[in-house]
Amino acid sequence: MATLSFHAPAAIARKIRTAARKRGLPLSRFLRETAERAADGEPVSGLGRELEKLAIDSMAIVALERTRAKAKALGLDRMTPAEITAEIKAARRERRERK
């Protein structure tokens, strides 16, 4: 049997463990069965939707952590809200002009 793994922030890992415990399943079985149903294209059940939301939350948290680290490394973590808004507007304007 192949081994798969993923990284999840502590809060998401707790939610996944809690969901498995509520269903009386070992964590590995809970994850495997949910993933199998999703891979087979079965309609997403409440359980599947719950796991999907947890995965999306996990990816968002990881992306946010990376963005914060990059901003800090570039010295951009001290920008004011007005400066942030100005940067966003400039980037959007530049993107529109390229089209």
Per-residue pLDDT of the chain (99 residues; tens, 9 = 90+): 788 887 888 888 888 899 889 889 899 998 888 888 777 776 656 666 777 777 888 888 888 889 989 988 988 888 888 998 999 999 999 999 987
Q: How far apart are CA 16 and CA 46, in angstroms?
A: 14
Q: How far apart are CA 85 and CA 12, in angstroms?
A: 30
Per-domain residue ranges of the chain: 10-98
pTM: 0.43
Residue written as token pair 């942030």: 84
